[in-house]
Structures are given as C-alpha cells and as structure tokens.
Amino acid sequence: MENLTDAQLITLYIEGNHKAFDGLINRHSQAVYRFTFKLLNNSDEAHDVTQETFIKAWKNIKKFDHDKNFKTWIFSIARNAAYDKLRKKKSVSFSSLDEEENEFDANIPDDQLLPHEIFEQNEKIELVRKALEAIPFDQKTAVLLHHGEEMTFEEISEVVDKPMNTVKSQYRRALISLKKLIEDQNAPKA
C-alpha cells in the first residue's frame, strides 16, 4: 500500500478494497492535524476537525475528481471544516490565547539544543504563534500551507478555491502583517 499513489489507493478503494482508504488516512492525517491545529490553536478541536475531514472525504470519495490532487482536496475540506469551527466559536480574541498556552506544552524542542537556546526557540515559536493568531483566516491559511506543508501557490489556490494571484497577494499581506506584529511584540513596553 505504501508504494501506491493517492490516486491508485482511491481507485482500489472504489473497486472494493476497504483497506485502501486506511492507507490514505495513514498518509495524510498527521499533516491535516498539524494544519488544523495551527488554524484552531486547540488540540481537541484539531482532532475533531481532522476526524470530520476524513469522514467527509470518505463519504464523498466517489465524487472525487481524479484529475485533481487528493492532498489539496483533503486540505480544502479541512480548511472549510476549521473555518466552520471558528465561525461557530466566533472570533477568538488575541488576549484569550493566553488561556490556551498549555496547548503548546507538547512541543518537544530539539534535544541537541542548550537550555537557553530551547528557551529562545520557544519564545520565537510563541511570537509566531501569537502573530499568526492575529492575522485573517485566509492569510493564515496561505502562510501555513506554503511554509508548513510546502505547498505551491497553485496548490494553495486549489485548496482555498481562489485565483493564484489572490493567494499570492494574501500571502504577501500575511508576511507584512506577521513582520509588523512580531516587531510590535518584540518592542520594549513603555
């Protein structure tokens, strides 16, 4: 199963091999979880959204367009599910992030780093995380998919179902906003 492409696994599943879909889950679920976790900033919600994403994909697998990429399709479902989750939750205020800081306790830094380096790295991660929380959902999606999942702008435009130029401009605006937010956070408080 591991040597088969996503398209081959889907074909096998449709032909009646029920283990083939498990192969797709094993291949993509952690990446979808990482993405939704960064979008939602909550482990339980990311778990639920990831589960919901694969259930939706499983229910609609026969409608899947074989000319498209499964990865972008599944990320598109995940993005929409995360967006719905956020909408239900209403907008999370920037300050409320502090309540969920324990979510990042699971980040295990590189063992090779010295204590002060670990501290610095965690501080930087925290800065980026807080800055990401403050930018609009679409901009955040573009940055997370480009840097986190190493997707091309073409793939991201498939995920968000928007023209590539729109995605590029969202990405640029996101970088500008992130830079400004991180600088503001780093600036000494009066």
Partner 1 sequence: MIKDYNQTLPGLEQDIISKIHGIQRRRVFMRQAGYGILSLGSFVGIMASGIYVKDILLTSGSYEYLSLLFSDAEILSYWKELSLSLAESLPIFGLAVLCSVGALFLWSAMRTMQLQLFRRALI
Query: HSE of 13 in the Cβ direction (CA atoms, 13 Å)?
Result: 23
Task: Give the 3-state secondary structure of residue 34.
Answer: helix
Taking CB under 8 A as the rule, which mask of x and - marks residues 42-61 in contact with partner 1? -x--xx--xx--xx--x---
Minimal distance in Å, beta carbon 46 to partner 1?
8
Minimal distance in Å, beta carbon 72 to partner 1?
19
Is the Cβ–Cβ distance between 86 and 138 less than 8 Å?
no
Q: How far is CA 133 from each of CA 2, 39, 50, 107, rounded to the nearest angstrom?
A: 36, 8, 19, 18
Minimal distance in Å, beta carbon 25 to partner 1?
5
- Residue 2 vs 67, nearer CB to partner 1: 2
Minimal distance in Å, beta carbon 49 to partner 1?
11
The answer to whether 119 contacts partner 1 (rule: CB under 8 A) is no
In the region spanning residues 11 to 30, those forming contacts with partner 1, defined by CB under 8 A, are 18, 21-22, 25-26, 29-30
Which one of 33, 70, 73, 75 is in contact with partner 1 (CB under 8 A)?
A: 33
Question: Which helix (H) or strand (E) is 136 found in, with range?
Answer: none
Q: How far is CA 24 from each of CA 73, 74, 128, 162, 188, rounded to the nearest angstrom?
A: 12, 10, 31, 25, 48
In the region spanning residues 129 to 158, those forming contacts with partner 1, defined by CB under 8 A, are 129, 132, 143-144, 147-148
Is the Cβ–Cβ distance between 156 and 168 less than 8 Å?
no
**94: which 2 tokens?**
């920037």
What residues line the site for partner 1 (CB under 8 A)?
18, 21-22, 25-26, 29-30, 33-34, 37-38, 43, 46-47, 50-51, 54-55, 58, 104, 106-107, 121, 124-125, 128-129, 132, 143-144, 147-148
